[in-house]
Chains A and B, each alone.
Chain A
């Protein structure tokens, strides 16, 4: 990625997309997902709305969740209407995402 004119800047992998954003990852998972609740969820809104793509469908139909590169936006808990599926908190003070160009 050099930003030279002519290069295809449109196709960028999700990992590259997240590369420029700084995260001070906490040991405590500030968001946890009770995947047992997810097993019976049919809408799966979290898969589509999480801008950091932290919810990933598992082969067996469950959900895999990873808190580390989270923007702390709140979209997931706002769209999930299954009681108890998402336990959502802010990371401890000073940790988590650090935006520079917000």
Chain B
């Protein structure tokens, strides 16, 4: 064993002599969706590829809410829906806005999403990540699990030429290293790709309970049949701490979670499991999860900075993809990262292949990666929604709007004859006043929201 470990203060190993023939063309660190997609793309193009994973198997260290949007796979795994390890196909998507005792749900259902080529699916990461890594291996990549990349190997000129691992004699060299090592990405930080800043500001913590329930119970409660599934995204369930919640259906369990900003959580002096307990007791959620036996509790960080806080995506001999580059899209009704990670990994793999083919793996030689991302949905979506993460996590969206929206709905739906029905305008005025929102701010936020989403 070496005495170097991967952590916030991990340091590069400087090689006085440039290595001879590298062990691999491409070395991918992290067998999450980004890493497996990168390895698959590079191996399929004929490169020799190693895929390093610190967990005992792919997915063992990974946590998400539970919905994967698979269409991005069309290019990598044709007919992926026939073999992906899916729990349920999402045919019903809901957004719930709540206060302590109210909830307004916008509920959408489409049976078209329950047939090929499908839209979203629920899946567990141990299954999903293992499946995608299996495709990389089938294409010729060498999977090296239970191995931590503890630092970058660099020449004295700074070019990345491989990684050190925690195995004895564990240096591995390559023409291009692709860092897909997730939200904490020590490799990208070590390479200086992330600007030095207060990173905790853009991080949220997600905690999740998996609650086992019989299949028929889930189908009854959520109004589902067969492999159909429902997702519920929730706003207003975090005691005003910037964040939100989710409830997703699996085959024989549901995933219930909250996602909250790290600084907000620390200053509120509330513990994450208390927020989960609140949510489980909420009148709109309790009947859905009643009797569920907790089978796993899990937690993970999410990079929510969005487009304006992306790091440099390439260095000499190095690319970074997925959460390691902050490519998670967290904008209220969207919490997507797996599809972006797969897209980014695929383009990173291709850019590495192209650079190796052209004999230039310097930062300039790898610059095609960023261009490809900008043209694809990966960075186009992030660019388009660059203002939304801030808006969703804003004080108003968190503390004022849920109450305002629920009161508005309550006013509209309440029947208290013989009093005449109040007009919408009056209801809005009362609700706005009651929740201390300035009408000007409300209008400004509505416009920002519409511009960003529209």
What residues of chain A have their CB less than 8 Å away from a CB belonging to chain B?
A: 1-7, 9-12, 14, 16-18, 20-21, 24, 30, 43, 45, 48-49, 51-53, 71-75, 77-79, 87-90, 92-94, 96-102
* Interface residue from B146, B255, B295 paired with A20 (Cβ < 8 Å): B295
Interface of A is mostly: loop
* Interface residue from B1, B56, B265, B280 paired with A94 (Cβ < 8 Å): B56
Q: List 20 A-B contacts (CB under 8 A).
A: A3-B291, A9-B280, A9-B292, A20-B295, A30-B5, A48-B271, A49-B262, A75-B203, A78-B199, A79-B262, A87-B9, A89-B10, A94-B54, A94-B55, A94-B146, A98-B55, A99-B60, A99-B62, A102-B126, A102-B296
Chain B contact residue count (CB 8 A cutoff): 67
Cross-chain contact A48 with B291 (CB below 8 angstroms)? no
| Closest chain B CB from A94 CB (angstroms) | 3
Cross-chain contact B59 with A102 (CB below 8 angstroms)? yes
Q: Which residues of B contact A11 (CB under 8 A)?
A: 277
- Interface segment out of the listed B37-45, B133-141, B298-306: B298-306
Q: Which residues of A contact B294 (CB under 8 A)?
A: 1, 9, 12, 16-17, 20
* Interface residue from B203, B205, B293 paired with A1 (Cβ < 8 Å): B293
* Interface residue from A10, A24, A98 paired with B281 (Cβ < 8 Å): A10
Report how far A98 CA is from B59 CA in the complex, Å: 9
B270 interfacial contact with A, CB 8 Å: yes
Q: Which residues of B contact A4 (CB under 8 A)?
A: 291
Cross-chain contact B59 with A24 (CB below 8 angstroms)? no
Report how far A30 CA is from B126 CA in the complex, Å: 23
B73 interfacial contact with A, CB 8 Å: no
Cross-chain contact B145 with A94 (CB below 8 angstroms)? yes
Choose among B147, B165, B253, B294 the residue with the greatest number of A CB atoms under 10 Å from its CB.
B294
The 9 tightest CB contacts between A and B, nearest first, are A94-B146, A3-B293, A51-B299, A89-B5, A89-B7, A45-B266, A102-B125, A102-B63, A101-B210
